[in-house]
């Protein structure tokens, strides 16, 4: 659900911003340009509108800001809490967009959607900037090594599935007067699933060790591995966490010449 909501938003926005009832209500000047047969400008110029640009881009700007702010939440409260908060942001944002009566509600809703995406996906950024690890944190920390790669590929695949679902919904709602409300509001469904689902997820052993909950971390590792003897893996986990905490000035270190290839791949 974490990446499905991102993919869904990518797909849904493209369709909604070309629906005539949506443009008439919120962006009449764009609609007028689209209907002007005497205007021979390109399709791009027809949509050249600052407010419309703000509507689409505000999500990504908010996601960028949230991804850095949320790293503190992740460190202090765990991956599970960040996923729940992200789902909550996305839920409120989707509902605001679905029930929007003015452009202000639309923009605020988009900003909240961006915070939701940022919180759900910041775990990747958090690890990129701290350990140069390019895989989603939660899956990597919970999954056995034998299926870790497959799960991470599935995580990426959910983006494209979200885009597909969004396009199918847009196709079905395009002819409806309030179809844009349905398209935007349905984003609340995966957000609810993410919020509810996160309540049943355990926190990762790595996160528990980071927060000093050593015994709880070992029990969680035993639970997800299905065996009692996890001493070797647990010791490696504790050592790795200690090594990460011992790193001084991580943001300064990242610009050192020896880390430039890693930084380039991360960017």
**Structure-token pair, residue 189:** 């469904």
Do 161 and 7 touch, CB atoms closer than 8 A?
yes
Global pTM reads 0.77
What's the Cα-to-Cα distance from 267 to each of 4, 64, 154, 251, 261, rounded to whole Å? Answer: 22, 13, 22, 14, 10
Nearest to 88 by CA among 201, 2, 181: 2
Dihedral of alpha carbons 233, 236, 237, 238, sign: positive
What's the Cα-to-Cα distance from 161 to each of 63, 143, 155, rounded to whole Å? Answer: 20, 22, 10
With vertex at residue 131, the alpha carbon angle to CA 149 and CA 237, rounded to the nearest 5 degrees, is: 70
- pLDDT tens over the chain, length 267 residues: 877 888 888 889 889 988 999 989 998 888 888 777 666 666 656 677 888 888 888 888 888 888 777 777 777 777 778 788 888 988 999 999 999 999 999 999 999 988 887 777 654 444 333 332 334 777 778 888 888 888 878 878 888 999 999 999 999 999 898 999 999 999 999 899 988 988 888 888 988 888 888 999 999 999 988 889 999 889 988 998 888 778 777 778 878 899 889 888 878
Distance CA 256, CA 263 (A): 10
Helices H / strands E in the chain, number of each: 16, 0
What's the Cα-to-Cα distance from 148 to each of 135, 137, 141, 178, 220, rounded to whole Å? Answer: 10, 11, 9, 42, 17
- Which residue reads 């974490």 in tokens? 2
Burial of 104 (0-12, 13-18, 19+ CB in 10 A): exposed
Largest CA distance in the chain: 76
Do 92 and 124 touch, CB atoms closer than 8 A?
no
Instruction: Say how many CA atoms lie within 13 Å of 172 toward its Cβ.
Output: 11
pLDDT at position 106, please? 92
């Amino acid at each position: 659900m974490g990446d499905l909501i991102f993919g869904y938003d990518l797909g849904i926005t493209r369709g909604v911003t070309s629906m005539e009832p949506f443009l008439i209500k919120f962006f009449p000047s764009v609609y007028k340009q689209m209907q002007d047969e005497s205007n021979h400008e390109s399709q791009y110029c027809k949509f050249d509108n600052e407010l419309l640009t703000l509507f689409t881009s505000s999500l990504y700007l908010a996601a960028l800001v949230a991804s850095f702010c949320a790293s503190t939440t992740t460190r202090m409260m765990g991956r599970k809490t960040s996923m729940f908060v992200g789902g909550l942001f996305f839920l409120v944002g989707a509902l605001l967009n679905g029930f929007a009566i003015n452009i202000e509600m639309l923009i605020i809703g988009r900003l909240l959607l961006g915070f939701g995406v940022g919180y759900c996906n910041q775990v990747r950024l958090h690890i990129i900037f701290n350990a140069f690890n390019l895989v989603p944190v939660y899956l990597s920390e919970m999954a056995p090594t034998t299926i870790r790669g497959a799960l991470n590929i599935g995580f990426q695949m959910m983006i494209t599935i979200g885009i597909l679902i969004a396009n199918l919904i847009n196709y079905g709602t395009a002819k409806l007067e309030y179809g844009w409300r349905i398209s935007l509001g349905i984003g609340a469904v995966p957000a609810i699933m993410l919020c509810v689902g996160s309540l049943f997820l355990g926190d990762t052993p790595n996160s528990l060790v980071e927060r000093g909950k050593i015994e709880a971390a070992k029990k969680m590792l035993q639970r997800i591995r299905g065996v009692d003897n996890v001493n070797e893996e647990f010791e490696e986990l504790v050592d790795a966490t200690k090594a990460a905490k011992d790193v001084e000035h991580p943001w300064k270190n990242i610009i050192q010449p020896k880390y430039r290839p890693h930084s380039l791949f991360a960017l």
